[in-house]
Amino acid sequence: MILYWTVPSSAVIPLVYLALLAGALGICWLWRSDSDFGLRFSFTLLLSLLLAPHLNYQDTLVAFLPAALGYDFVRKKRPKLVPVFQLLVLAATFVPPLFIITRYDRLLGWVWPLPLMMILAAVCALGLRRTVV
């Protein structure tokens, strides 16, 4: 949906399949290492959510598992990032009802999980950066 707003409609389908191919290659490269299983699994789930050609709003509930695994990693190995996760939990809890109450759920109601998932994917990627060669 976001691509339809930003690129010509004739380029959307090729871009989606190019991103899927790049994501599949990235995941194959990621799983050949012996780095932290939880982070690799979290990053795989998040990448599949972000690159899905058709994603329903309720499908983003799958992001709670990578969030729990990412929080476990951050709590053990990067305690300075714990406040980021606390902020994400507050945003994930209160932003959807806020959109519903204010009736501002037309555009942002469908897009708001994207920044949360991208921040979570960035945390997973930072955790994996030093371990994957």
Tens-digit pLDDT profile for residues 28-75: 888 887 778 888 898 898 888 888 777 776 777 788 888 888 888 888
Band (110; pLDDT cuts 50, 70, 90): low
Secondary structure in 3-state letters for the chain: CHHHHHCCHHHHHHHHHHHHHHHHHHHHHHCCCCCCHHHHHHHHHHHHHHCCCCCCHHHHHHHHHHHHHHHHHHHHHCHHHHHHHHHHHHHHHHHHHHHHHHCCCCCHHHHCHHHHHHHHHHHHHHHHHCCCC
Tens-digit pLDDT profile for residues 91-105: 877 877 777 777 665
pTM of this structure: 0.74
Give residue 97's identity as a one-letter amino acid code.
P
pLDDT value for 95: 77
Q: For residues 108, 113, 115 and 117, what is the CA-based torsion angle, rounded to 10 degrees?
A: -170
pLDDT value for 104: 65
